[in-house]
Amino acid sequence: NAGVTQTPKFRVLKTGQSMTLLCAQDMNHEYMYWYRQDPGMGLRLIHYSVGEGTTAKGEVPDGYNVSRLKKQNFLLGLESAAPSQTSVYFCASSTGDRAPFFGPGTRLTVL
Amino acid sequence: SQKIEQNSEALNIQEGKTATLTCNYTNYSPAYLQWYRQDPGRGPVFLLLIRENEKEKRKERLKVTFDTTLKQSLFHITASQPADSATYLCALGPRSGGYNKLIFGAGTRLAVHP
């Protein structure tokens, strides 16, 4: 039982490049979330999903897209990376009535 | 807009003492409040939830209080150990909507010295 896994762990991009972050959970959770964590700030929700095939915007969705084609996977895409997207990205999942279970994070640097 | 504040300065204490961390908030009326632990390079881990009608919650060496009048929660670790060293986050829970509406604080780093 791996919980929530994220791929990759680290990535360096140049401005304008694109990439996809993959999140996978093996707990059969309905809800999945993508957060970003920046120094001196609390976790901020980017997008979330309440079930397979559904997605919704969070607090800071601009510049990101997501997809939830399978219940266990939640993908976060950056179409044209900007330095302001340098951050640590956390995926989380939950049953909806329990606190989110977080993954280990992806550290992204955009040059 | 709502604001949540945790002490940005690290808290340094000696092993065996009680650590007390503070979470203050303004312009918000949460239905509940959560505390998480985050180790360097890892994701947050949920510790405790306290609801607005609960004054205090305990779990082993952890104790959380919630004062809706003062708009403050205190998080205590008794008999602290070096292994308790981590960053602790508080999060406010909404009256409506799910965990997609959690508001997280920036966290306070705790260092427990032998």
| Residues of B at the A interface, defined by Cβ within 8 angstroms | 4, 8, 34, 36, 41-46, 49, 89, 91, 98-100, 102-107
Q: Which residues of A touch B99 (CB under 8 A)?
A: 31, 33, 94, 96, 99-100
Residue of chain A nearest B40, judged by CA positions: A104
Mean pLDDT of chain B: 94
What pLDDT does residue B2 have?
75
Average the pLDDT over B60-85 and give the result.
97
Q: Which residues of B touch A103 (CB under 8 A)?
A: 43
The identity of residue A50, as a single letter, is: V
What pLDDT does residue A107 have?
97
Average the pLDDT over B84-107 and give the result.
91
In this predicted structure, the answer to whether residue B35 has a pLDDT above a threshold of 80 is yes
Residue of chain A nearest B36, judged by CA positions: A99
Which residues of chain A have a pLDDT value below 70?
none
CA distance B100 to B73: 21
Contact B15, B114 (CB under 8 A): yes
CA distance B26 to A57: 24
Q: Do B104 and A44 touch (CB under 8 A)?
A: yes
Starting at the earlier edge strand, list the strands of the sheet with A19-25: A4-7, A19-25, A73-78, A64-67
User: How sure is the predictor about B86, in pLDDT bands with cuts at 50, 70 and 90?
Assistant: very high
CB-closest option in B4, B46, B100 to A45:
B100
What pLDDT does residue B113 have?
97
What pLDDT does residue A49 have?
95
What pLDDT does residue B95 have?
86
Contacts of A47 (CB under 8 A, 6+ apart): A33, A34, A55, A56, A57, A58, A61, A64, A65, A66, A76
What pLDDT does residue B96 have?
82
What pLDDT does residue A89 have?
98
For residues B23 and B97, which has the higher predicted lDDT (pLDDT)?
Answer: B23
Q: What is the DSSP code string of B74-110?
A: EEEESS--GGG-EEEEEEEEPSSS-GGG-EE---EEE
Taking only Cα atoms into account, the Rg of chain B, rounded to an integer number of angstroms, comes to 14
Contact B56, B88 (CB under 8 A): no
Closest CA of chain A from B108, distance in Å: 10
What pLDDT does residue A96 have?
74
What pLDDT does residue B99 have?
78
**Residue B84 C-alpha from the chain's centroid:** 13
What pLDDT does residue B97 have?
76
User: Which element (helix H / strand E) includes A10?
Assistant: strand A10-13
User: Which element (helix H / strand E) includes A66?
Assistant: strand A64-67
Q: Do A42 and B106 touch (CB under 8 A)?
A: yes
What pLDDT does residue B1 have?
80
Average the pLDDT over B48-73 and give the result.
95
Which chain A residues in 2-61 lie under 8 Å from chain B, judged by CB atoms? 4, 31, 33, 40-45, 48, 50, 56, 58
State the Cα torsion A39-B108-A76-B31 to the nearest 10°: -130
What pLDDT does residue B67 have?
95
What pLDDT does residue A97 have?
78
What pLDDT does residue B8 have?
83
CB atoms within 10 A of CB A80: 11
Average the pLDDT over B15-44 and give the result.
96
What pLDDT does residue A104 have?
97
Closest CA of chain B from A51, distance in Å: 13
